[in-house]
Copies of this chain bind each other. A is one copy, B any other.
Amino acid sequence: MSGQGSIRVTVWNEYTDEQKKKEVTDVYPGGLHNTIAGFLNKDENISAKTTVITDPEQGLPDSLLENTDVLIWWGHIYHDRVDDKRVLKVVNQVHQGMGIIFLHSAHRSKPFLALTGASGRLSWREAEEKSRVWTADPAHPIAAGIPENFALEREEMYSEPFGIPQPESTVFISWFEGGNVFRSGVTFRRDYGKIFYFQPGHETYPAYHNEIVQRVIINAVKWVNPLVRVSNRDCPNVPALERITPK
């Protein structure tokens, strides 16, 4: 499941009972993490692997995080089972430069809440409804090659108000057939780490097979991929640079 590219991506998924139901595996055989890693690995600059919550250390061992440039997170009903110590490790790696992409229901995952500081609150509906994703910031690298809008025939509805801090950029805003809107693609930065949240991707709908959605995620991987990765995040005691008048 690993390509030859220079950006090392880890796709993390819950992948528990709920995601092994026939209605999900019909759309994503082997789990949506494998679909995502699959299209990422077609890009010559990306090398993606997968990991799930039932793997050792919940699929998030230190050595993996330290060697991951970009972590992609898909979680839903097991948010609460992710260990707080693992969350802290993820957050620290983001502060040091690791990029992170939160997909769909990850808006309520522990790492998303820990990194944004907000509630992730929204309202939702599963109703086989059409969504149109609008590019609100067409100059953003994540929007490169993405049309002014594109349709997803069936998507879970997520609605404003969305409990997030003011994004650095609101790249996408989605329209839903049932009358709602949602800031569906937003970026943040925390210390050296870049963050992208992207709304499409309910597990029973084929969003991750859509070529435009794939292009957004590939663009996002390249945008959150760190320029530098730092290590020390302590607060050093430093000497004066200029003379201080004795008092």
Contacts and interface: CB of A to CB of B under 8 A. Distances in A.
Interface of A: 84, 91, 95, 97, 108, 114-125, 127-130, 132, 134-139, 141, 144, 148-149, 151, 153-154, 157, 159-163, 165-166, 168-170, 173-181, 183, 188-193, 226-228, 233-242, 244-247
Given A135-B160, A139-B192, A139-B193, 11 more contacts: A129-B240, A132-B180, A134-B161, A136-B183, A139-B226, A144-B227, A149-B180, A154-B247, A166-B189, A170-B183, A179-B242
Contact of A241 (B120, B122, B180, B235): B180
Contacts of A236: 123-124
Contacts of A84: 84
A91 to B, nearest CB: 8
A189 to B, nearest CB: 7
